[in-house]
Every structure is written in C-alpha cells, then in structure tokens.
C-alpha cells in the first residue's frame, strides 16, 4: 500500500507523489496514502506548503473503475472515501497545490479541486468524463467546478464529459498557472517553486467550496441548464447520466454547498446502480480488452508503418487515405483513370473543407493533410510503401488480379491489406506469393469518421502482421477488433439477419416507419430500414445475388428490397427507397412502398397482421444475438465483448445498452432463448437457436463470462 503513494520534502515543500501505474487511478491505498501524506505534512515543521503530483505518465486518471463493480455487487470498499481526501486537502492549514501532467480526470480533477491551487504542463488535459461511464462526478466536482469555472463551463464539462486542454482550463480559472517546459521534472520543479511562494505569502488560501464569485443567478442557471439539457438530448440521446449531471451542477446555484454535495452523492449512487452505467463500464473495459490477442503477446514485434499506399479512390479508398494523412503518414492514392482520381480527390477536399468549417481542423492542418496524399494513376512509390491497402470494387476476380499486381510490386515485408466487406481473405491471399503478409482491414463508411476497424485474420496471416494492424488501428485513432475470416466477418454477418428480419416484419404488416421508430427509441442511431436507404439498397441486392448460398432453396428470403430496387428505389442516392427523401434529406413515408408491401404479401401468401413494438424489437435484436452466439462458438470473435465493441463503434448500437451480447446477458439468456424458440416455431429455419445460446441458457451462464478457451 505504502508504495502507491510516496512523500518527500524538497526546499521546505512536502511532495506527495501518487505512483499507481499505469494511470494513477484512485485504487484502494491511494486515497489512504494521500490522506496520510497531508496529515503528516500539516504537522511537519519543515514543510510550509504541500504539492500533490503523479509519477509516470499522468496525474490521476480518476477513480479505479474496477472498484465500481465491487460496490454495486455489495462488496463494499473500505477505507476513507475520496471526499475525505478532498476535504483534507482543502482544510489543510498549509497551502496545497495540485501539479498536473497527463490527465486529471474524474476523481483526479476532484482531488485537484480540493487543493488551494492547480498548476499544469501545457500538454495536460483535465475533464469530468464520468458521464461516459453512465455516472456523474461523485466527489463534489459538480459543486466545486462551477465555483471555479462558472456554471456554463461546468455544465458542458460534466454533461458532455469531453476533456479540455490546459490552456482552456487556465482561461476558465480551473488552473492557476500553466508551467513552462514539457517534462515531468519541469512540472515538479515549477510546482515546488510555486508552492514555496504561496507558502511564504501572507495571503489566505481560498477554499474552492467557499468561492461564490462565478456562480450565476438562479434564473440564469435555469436557462443554462435548460440549454445544456436540450443539447445533450440531441448529442447524447438516450443517455441518462448527462441529464443527471446537469441536475447536480444546477444544485451548486440553488442550494448551499453542503446540501448540493448531498444531492450530488444521491444522484451519483442512483447512476452507479443503473444498468446504463453497467453497460458503459462494460464497454470501457471491452474496448481495451479487444486489444489483447491471446496468441499474439503484447511484446510481438511490429512492422513500422511510415508510408502507405491505397488502391481505389472511391467512397472507401478516399476515406482510408484521409485516415493515414490525419495520422501524419504519407499516402499514395492510385486510381485507374484520371477522371476517377479527380473525383476521389474532390471528395477528399470537400470532406476536409467541411471539417474545417466545423472547426475540427484549421486551414493550415487541412493543407498539411492534403499535402500528405499523393494522387496518381501509376504504381510510383508503391514499392516503398510499408502497407498497401486495396479498396477497389467488391469483386473477387478483380481483387485477385489487383493482389497479383501488388505482389509483384510491393516491397518484401510490406503489409498487404484488403478492405473487402464480405469476400474470403484467404482466397485473396492465395493470389499472392506471400499470404502471411495479407490481412483484412475492414473500415466503415465514412472511413475517416467511423471509429471501428475490423481486422480480419486469414489462415496464414503472420502474427506480427496482426500485431502491426492492432498497433496501426491505434495510430489511426480507430478501435481495432480482430475477427475471423467468414462471410461478412462479424459485423456484417450479424447485420444481415438483423436487416432480414426488418424486411420480413414489413412484409408481415409492420409499417416501415414503426420498425425504424422502435429501434430508434431503443437508442440506435438509425432504424434498420433507414440505414438500408443510407447505404444503398442495391448493395444488399448485389450481396444476395453474389452469395446465393445465403438463401438455400425452400427457405424464406426477403423480397421487399429487391422489389424496391426493381423500381429504381436504391435509397437516398435515388431519393427513393423505403422512404422518399426531400432535397434536404428529410424522410417521408411513401404510399407506393405500402402498396408494394401489400402486393408482396399477397403474391407470396404472407399473412399480414398487426405487429407490436415488442415483437419488432425482439425479432431484430435477438436476430443479432442468435447470430452473435454462432460467431462466438465458431471462434470468429475472440470474446463476446469484442462483438459489443463492433456494434457500438461500427453500427450505432446504443452504447448505454452495452452492445447486443451484453444486452442479451442483461435480459437473461433463458428469456432470450424462450423468445428464440417461439420465433423458431412460428417462422422456422432462420430462428434455429444457436447451440451456444442453448448451452448457456441451460447452465444459467452468460456470453460475457463464457470463454472459448475454457469450453
């Protein structure tokens, strides 16, 4: 325990150093250590001021998130709460200074707010990201932050959870000073100097809880809270914690401090025990777990990626080139014709300009990024690239031909990646003399925005190519998830039954608008039919044509989207699909679609009936779950939480539900199986329960706890 927090005295200043790698979380032992340090220094005559600093790469990244599960499962944490530490720092008779580098997040920032002063390196970031875990600040941050930064800034930080830079924090009064220099030694020296000066000064050291100057009037507070709530309802739709955080921050104005912190604590506990918080904490760890590949240890050597080359400047190739440029990696972009190349580059330029207008990049950053992309119709420079990414049309013959060409030109040891969304990566790899270097890098559209990268491991893919791809995902600011090589991999393979059931429901009598509404209300970014319109209904039609094995004879197949395509209704690109679209992309129901559905039902003997919202939800979401169970059993995903990450980051599955597999665990696998069995009895073939679902339901198990290795 002692080793988690160290103390020393330097130039009459007591330094408390938190040393709990990797991120100095406030695990058991840390609060105790800080408390003991403060108490010892307060009575140490050599000491005139106290500095709190973190060892290693950061200050304090917040509470130890693993502890939350212990609290909610009843294994309560012992030792002093964080609030006791915050009070000890604030009530200390000697001035206390938080010296921040890396991150001061969550409980870390709350501890810093207990100090009389906060200073930081320029590179530091501070934030209250608790809402991203479905909770709110629980160590009085919602009451101190408005006193430091003003109510509007506190609302933004506590409700949205995004961190801010040291410069911004200084501007808003959260920091008292930004320390010159870049290294930990600069910070430490600056902090000891700063503390020495305030220790010598005769001025009183204000306690943040007593500072009222930045609090606004109740009327203004009501207005600010209303505006913040309207914003989070839009940008964090369905999330409960942001609204609760707003409520808590509002209390800083409407209640005295002592009552405000009491209310904060009640709301914190309500959030902590909510299913949303369990789901979001599940996803936090799931995202990090996904980086761990059992047979590819962390120390597997990676191939350095300093130069990239992309084939195809269409929808995906252009976006992929932007990902590399955004990461500072020069990239060559090859097309077949000058015309296609110019079209691709025009789209890239337009996307960058749009980002610049939205303030995401400066004009200078846009110039730098564009300069990193070399458009060409030749193979120039492909021989020097460390990675070649293929993003040509989805056609096996073409992909093989292209890979033969890449094989002839790429340098030895280059990673050869395909962005195919369904095709067999092994078959593509066979077209080369080096299948060990071939891997799938399945980006999602728009590739420069969507966070997910499915990394598809072929039979012969080398381990260092897997390790390199996982590392590269991080460099490209993507969430990389390793998946197996099967039709549609993990994401699209599951999406297929999900969208199939949505079509069946429409053919059985559910209104398209109701199908989309139910999923939207569940929290999905878009309903399944609206998604089809966005992606293009012709894509699904082509997949159904090119993969006839998906629909063996005698098995019901979805008819609606093929029929829509026959009418030229390809979705948003033709302004008509499941809906019609206005010039402003507004969506409208269309009687032509209703008539078409009636026709399909009548011609194919499909009985139409009234369909409940519950049935819509079960038919679509349990279709995901049943297929997910098969994928898991086949080892196409390493663990169920990987599937959850894929759905949260690639398919707009509501993060506060934790992903489809976690959602199924919460519903209870016995209940899920009961529904799947009923659907099987009613609808046959497609609903045959996955063996793993049956097994786990019988055992009282869950996907989250199941491990293929142990099975």
- Binding residues for ligand ZOZ, per CB under 6 A? 22-23, 25, 61-66, 71, 81-82, 103, 105-107, 129-130, 133, 138-139, 288
64: contact with ligand NAD by CB under 6 A:
no
Query: Which alpha helices (DSSP H) does 550-612 contain, by range?
Result: 560-566, 591-603
- Kindly tell me which residue out of 393, 412, 554, 605 binds ligand NAD, with binding defined by CB under 6 A: 393
230: contact with ligand NAD by CB under 6 A:
no
Strand 387-390 relative to strand 308-311, pairing:
parallel
The β-bridge partners of 524 are none
Kindly identify the residues of this chain, within the stretch 307-326, that bind ligand NAD according to CB under 6 A.
Answer: 311-317
Q: Which is nearer to ligand ZOZ, 125 or 205 (CB)?
A: 125
Q: How far is CA 119 from the centre of its chain?
A: 30
- Kindly tell me which residue out of 445, 475, 695, 702 binds ligand NAD, with binding defined by CB under 6 A: 445
Binding letters toward ligand NAD, positions 509-548, x by CB under 6 A = --------------------------x-------------
675: contact with ligand NAD by CB under 6 A:
no
Stretch that binds ligand NAD, among 17-25, 45-53, 239-247, 439-447 (CB under 6 A): 439-447
Integer Cα distance of 578 and 584 in angstroms: 17
419: contact with ligand NAD by CB under 6 A:
yes
Least distance to ligand NAD from the beta carbon of 238, Å?
A: 25
Partner in contact with 106, chosen from ligand ZOZ, ligand NAD, none, beta carbon below 5 to 8 Å by kind = ligand ZOZ
Stretch that binds ligand NAD, among 332-340, 628-636, 674-682, 694-702 (CB under 6 A): 332-340
**CB distance 677 to 684 below 8 Å:** no
Query: Which of 609, 623, 499 shows the shortest CA–CA distance to 561?
Result: 499
Least distance to ligand ZOZ from the beta carbon of 258, Å?
A: 17
Q: Which is nearer to ligand ZOZ, 203 or 295 (CB)?
A: 295
The question of whether 110 is a catalytic residue gets the answer yes
Strand 125-127 relative to strand 103-105, pairing:
parallel
Partner in contact with 421, chosen from ligand NAD, ligand ZOZ, none, beta carbon below 5 to 8 Å by kind = ligand NAD
**CB distance 381 to 374 below 8 Å:** yes
Other CB atoms within 10 A of residue 341 CB: 17
3-class secondary structure for 77-97? CCCCCHHHHHHHHHHCCCCEE
Q: In a 3-state reduction of DSSP, which class is residue 364?
A: helix
Exposure string over 289-315, b if 16+ CB within 10 A, otherwise e: ebeebeebeeebebbebebbbbbbbee
Contacts of residue 140, Cβ cutoff 8 Å, sequence gap at least 6: 83, 86, 110, 113, 209, 261, 264
Least distance to ligand ZOZ from the beta carbon of 288, Å?
A: 4
Least distance to ligand NAD from the beta carbon of 451, Å?
A: 14
Element (H, E) at 407: helix 396-409
Least distance to ligand ZOZ from the beta carbon of 128, Å?
A: 8
Least distance to ligand ZOZ from the beta carbon of 326, Å?
A: 17
The question of whether 589 is a catalytic residue gets the answer no
Which is the catalytic residue, given 90, 130, 287, 454? 130
Q: Which is nearer to ligand ZOZ, 67 or 633 (CB)?
A: 67
Partner in contact with 288, chosen from ligand NAD, ligand ZOZ, none, beta carbon below 5 to 8 Å by kind = ligand ZOZ
Pseudo-torsion of CA 248, 253, 257, 258, nearest 10°?
A: -60
Partner in contact with 207, chosen from ligand NAD, ligand ZOZ, none, beta carbon below 5 to 8 Å by kind = none
Q: Which is nearer to ligand ZOZ, 479 or 564 (CB)?
A: 479
Q: Could you tell me if residue 39 is left (phi over 0), alpha (psi between -120 and 50 degrees) or otherwise beta?
A: alpha
Integer Cα distance of 381 and 373 in angstroms: 12
Least distance to ligand ZOZ from the beta carbon of 164, Å?
A: 13
Which tokens belong to 95?
A: 């001035």
Contacts of residue 615, Cβ cutoff 8 Å, sequence gap at least 6: 505
- Residues classed as catalytic: 110, 130
Binding site for ligand NAD (CB under 6 A): 311-317, 334-336, 340, 391-394, 402, 419-421, 443-445, 535
């Amino acid at each position: 325990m002692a080793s988690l927090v160290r103390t020393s005295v330097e130039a009459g200043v007591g330094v408390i150093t938190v040393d709990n790698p990797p991120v100095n979380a406030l695990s058991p032992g840390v609060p105790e250590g800080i408390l003991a340090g403060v108490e010892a220094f307060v009575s140490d005559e050599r000491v005139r001021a106290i500095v709190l600093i973190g060892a290693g790469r950061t200050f304090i990244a917040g509470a130890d998130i693993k502890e939350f599960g212990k609290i909610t499962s009843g294994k309560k944490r012992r030792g002093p709460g964080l609030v006791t530490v915050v009070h000890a720092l604030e009530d200390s008779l000697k001035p206390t200074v938080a010296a921040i580098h890396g991150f001061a997040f969550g409980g870390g920032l709350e501890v810093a707010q207990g100090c009389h002063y906060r200073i930081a390196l320029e590179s530091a970031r501070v934030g209250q990201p608790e809402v991203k875990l479905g909770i709110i600040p629980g160590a009085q941050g919602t009451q101190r932050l408005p006193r430091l930064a003003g109510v509007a800034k506190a609302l933004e930080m506590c409700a949205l959870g995004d961190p801010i830079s040291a410069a911004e924090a200084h501007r808003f009064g959260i920091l008292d000073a930004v320390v010159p220099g870049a290294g930990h030694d600069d910070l430490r020296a600056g902090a000891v100097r700063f503390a020495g000066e305030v220790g010598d000064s005769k001025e009183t050291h204000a306690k943040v809880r007593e500072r009222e100057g930045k609090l606004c009037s109740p009327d203004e507070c009501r207005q600010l809270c209303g505006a913040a709530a309207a914003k989070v309802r839009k940008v964090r739709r369905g999330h409960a914690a942001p609204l609760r955080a707003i409520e808590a921050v509002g209390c800083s104005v409407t209640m005295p401090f002592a009552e405000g912190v009491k209310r904060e604590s009640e709301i914190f506990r309500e959030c902590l025990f909510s299913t949303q918080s369990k789901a979001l904490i599940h996803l936090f760890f799931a995202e990090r777990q996904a980086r761990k590949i059992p047979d590819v240890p962390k120390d597997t050597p990676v191939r350095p990626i300093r130069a990239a080359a992309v084939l195809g400047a269409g929808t995906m190739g252009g976006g992929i080139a932007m990902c590399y440029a955004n990461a500072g990696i020069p990239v060559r972009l090859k097309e077949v014709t000058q015309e296609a190349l110019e079209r691709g580059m025009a789209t890239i330029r337009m996307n960058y300009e749009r980002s610049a207008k939205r303030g995401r990049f400066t004009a200078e950053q846009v110039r730098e990024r564009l300069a990193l992309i070399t458009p060409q119709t030749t193979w120039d420079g492909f021989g020097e690239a460390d990675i070649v990414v293929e993003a040509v049309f989805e056609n096996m013959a073409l992909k093989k031909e292209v890979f033969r060409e890449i094989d002839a030109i790429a340098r030895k040891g280059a990673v050869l990646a395909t962005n195919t969304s369904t095709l067999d990566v092994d078959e593509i790899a066979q077209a080369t003399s080096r299948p060990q270097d071939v891997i799938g890098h399945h980006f999602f559209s728009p590739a420069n925005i969507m966070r997910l990268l499915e990394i598809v491991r072929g039979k012969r893919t080398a381990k260092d190519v897997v390790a390199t791809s996982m590392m590269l995902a991080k460099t490209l600011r993507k969430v990389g998830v390793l998946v197996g090589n099967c039709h549609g991999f993990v994401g699209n393979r599951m999406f297929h039954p999900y969208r199939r059931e949505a079509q069946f429901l429409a053919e059985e009598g559910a209104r398209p608008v109701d199908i989309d509404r139910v999923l939207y209300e569940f929290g999905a970014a878009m309903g399944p039919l609206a998604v089809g319109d966005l992606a293009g209904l012709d894509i699904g039609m082509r997949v159904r044509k090119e993969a006839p094995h998906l629909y063996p004879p005698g098995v019901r197949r979805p008819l609606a989207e093929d029929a829509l395509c026959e009418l030229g209704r390809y979705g948003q690109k033709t302004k008509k699909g499941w809906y019609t679209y206005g010039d402003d992309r507004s969506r409208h129901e269309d009687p032509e679609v209703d008539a078409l559905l009636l026709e399909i039902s009548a011609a194919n003997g499909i009985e139409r009936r009234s369909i409940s919202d519950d049935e819509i939800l079960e038919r679509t979401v349990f279709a995901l779950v049943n297929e997910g169970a098969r994928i898991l059993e086949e080892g196409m995903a390493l663990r169920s939480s990987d599937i959850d990450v894929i759905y949260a980051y690639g398919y707009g599955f509501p993060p506060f539900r934790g992903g489809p597999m976690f959602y199924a665990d919460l519903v209870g696998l016995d209940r899920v199986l009961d529904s799947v069995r009923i659907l099987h009895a009613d609808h046959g073939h497609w609903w045959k329960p996955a063996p793993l679902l049956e097994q786990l339901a019988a055992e009282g198990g869950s996907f989250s706890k199941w491990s293929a290795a142990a099975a």
